[in-house]
Structure 1
Amino acid sequence: MELVTPATPQDAQALADRLGARARFIAGGTLLQQEWDEPRLAPPGLCFINVQAWPETQRIALGEAHLRIGAGARLETVRTHALVLAHAPLLSEALGQLGALGVRRLGTLGGNVGWGMGDSAPVLLALDAEAELADGTREPLERTLLRPVRPLMVAFHLPRADARRPVHAVFEKVGYRAAFSPGRLRLALRWRDAARGRAVVRAAAGAPGVSAVRLHAVEALLAEPGPRPGLAAVRGACLRALPPPLALIASRLIAGHCGLL
């Protein structure tokens, strides 16, 4: 096992590209340990690339059109930050349901998103987040999560609340840690306007073993004019992206929030 601290995010990405499967980005390390057969002992041969050495990955700041949240910002810092509460309150709400306080104080937003199955990823997808990569380019987070090998994410950019129409959104988590039940599904929905109803413009979900994805078929179904769809139609749309047990849960949540039951 080796721990390396590159001088820049670009150096970190270049090192990861050279090492391939041996490389692991590490910040808080709260999720990485779940990959290990022995929870107290990292597998031999791995090179851990420390991504907590750069101030630009930890800052939360407001730009001309976007809120920029550094990927290295601690989850509890993100949850309680005034700019996040003002411009992305749904993200703060979701992080409040993530693990225990000790986990949130150690884990980072980038780690939770990079895992793909964390509570924050569906919310960021629903809010049209962009990922800032090590080379300074930005791309839709949806594209980053679909890459076969996820690159180092330096920050996330969300539209400012005062530069867009008001966001009407909800986050649902089925199975709460406080109830000694593992989280089975994370779902985020965003509506076109305050009337809500069936006018969902973004739907995203993730679960253990299922990386967060946009539910494009659900969005298309609810955008269609005409008679409102029934639960079976919503379930069929969910099945385009989720396995049957999760599609069943997601469809009921979506139908309930959209007044389709």
Structure 2
Amino acid sequence: MVFALARTIDEALAFKEALGPEAIYGGGLTALQLGWGDEVPGVPVVDVSEADFGPLSQPIAPGYLRLAANARLEALRLDPLVAERLPALCDLLGKLGAVGVRNLATLGGNLAWGLGDTEVLLAALGADLIYVDGLKKPVDAALHDDGLLIAVDVHTARHAPHFVEKLGHREAFSPARVVVAGCLRPGGWKVAARIGPTSLLVETLQHADEAETVFSHVEGPDPALLRIARNLLRGHITRLGDTP
């Protein structure tokens, strides 16, 4: 496997161009270091974990926080600004693997993995992915495969009811069994869920009782886990209140 460590964004872009379209960007590369899967990727990897993507966290507009994509998950969890404005994210990160994993893993890597827990909460909060070429995409949209993700812009929802809950093995490097999250918006509850090793599910609900049939059009999730996800969503929305 070809591995290139980029110290700057310009170096990362240059390595990617030199290594060709198959090359991928990597953050903490915990999937490799902890032996995830049977084989290492058969493609070149550009490690961007040491590049300068700006401050770990910074306010960018009233009610919004920008998080560096190559920020280590444990550093995010301990960051005072994130703790103040995104306490739900801090709580979730505390349930994501062990400290050793969080000291290696990055936010961008967790999102790019496709099964990361942070994606569920960030989708419910309406976060956007920011790429070095200026492209901006919602977290729940398809990743820009060839792009270099440099930041995530998150609505902090400090005054909007929101929740996140995860069921799974706290210190196991494996997908959670169920992760659900929701945030009350003017148009209703935006809810997101990942049920086992499946794609992210996102819908908008008006009332708690709609959770009984949410994601009913989706094939693949384990029926028992889907039932648990619906019960969790209904319980949280009932507790926090339906659309005003």
TM range (shorter): 0.7 to 0.9
* Residue of 124, 127, 132 corresponding to 2:130: 132
* Residue of 150, 153, 162 corresponding to 1:154: 150
CA contact (8 A) 1:133 1:153 kept: yes
Aligned to 1:196: none
TM-score for the superposition, normalised by structure 2:
0.81
- State the alpha-carbon separation in 2 of the partners of residues 212 and 149 from structure 1: 17
Cα pair distance change 1:99/1:7, threshold 3 Å: closer
- State the alpha-carbon separation in 2 of the partners of residues 138 and 10 from structure 1: 19
Q: Given the alignment of the two structures, is residue 190 of structure 1 paired with residue 188 of structure 2, yes or no? A: no
- State the alpha-carbon separation in 2 of the partners of residues 11 and 107 from structure 1: 21
Aligned to 2:47: 50
Secondary structure at the residue paired with 2:100? helix
Cα pair distance change 1:181/1:212, threshold 3 Å: closer
Q: 1:36 Cα deviation (Å)?
A: 3.7
Aligned to 2:69: 71
- State the alpha-carbon separation in 2 of the partners of residues 6 and 171 from structure 1: 34
- State the alpha-carbon separation in 2 of the partners of residues 177 and 138 from structure 1: 32
Alignment-mate amino acid for residue 80 of structure 1: L
CA contact (8 A) 2:117 2:176 kept: no
Q: 1:12 Cα deviation (Å)?
A: 3.7
- State the alpha-carbon separation in 1 of the partners of residues 174 and 71 from structure 2: 27
Task: Figure out how many residues of one structure are paired with residues of the other and give that number.
Answer: 234
TM-score for the superposition, normalised by structure 1:
0.76
Q: 1:8 Cα deviation (Å)?
A: 5.0
- Stretches of structure 1 that go unaligned for 5 or more consecutive residues are 194-198
Equivalences for residues 50-129 of structure 1 within 5 A:
50-56=47-53, 59-65=56-62, 66-129=64-127
Secondary structure at the residue paired with 2:199? strand
Aligned to 1:238: 215
Indicate the RMSD between aligned Cα atoms, in angstroms. Answer: 3.1
Aligned to 1:223: 206
* Residue of 218, 221, 226 corresponding to 1:247: 226
Alignment-mate amino acid for residue 56 of structure 2: R
- State the alpha-carbon separation in 2 of the partners of residues 128 and 80 from structure 1: 22
Aligned to 2:242: none
Aligned to 2:191: 203
- Identity %, equivalent residues: 33
Q: 1:61 Cα deviation (Å)?
A: 1.4
Q: Where does structure 1 differ by over 4 angstroms across 4 or more consecutive aligned residues?
A: 13-18, 32-35, 178-182
- State the alpha-carbon separation in 2 of the partners of residues 81 and 176 from structure 1: 24
> More deviation in 176-185 or 58-67?
176-185
- Stretches of structure 2 that go unaligned for 5 or more consecutive residues are 240-244
Secondary structure at the residue paired with 1:211? coil
Alignment-mate amino acid for residue 106 of structure 1: L
CA contact (8 A) 2:97 2:172 kept: no
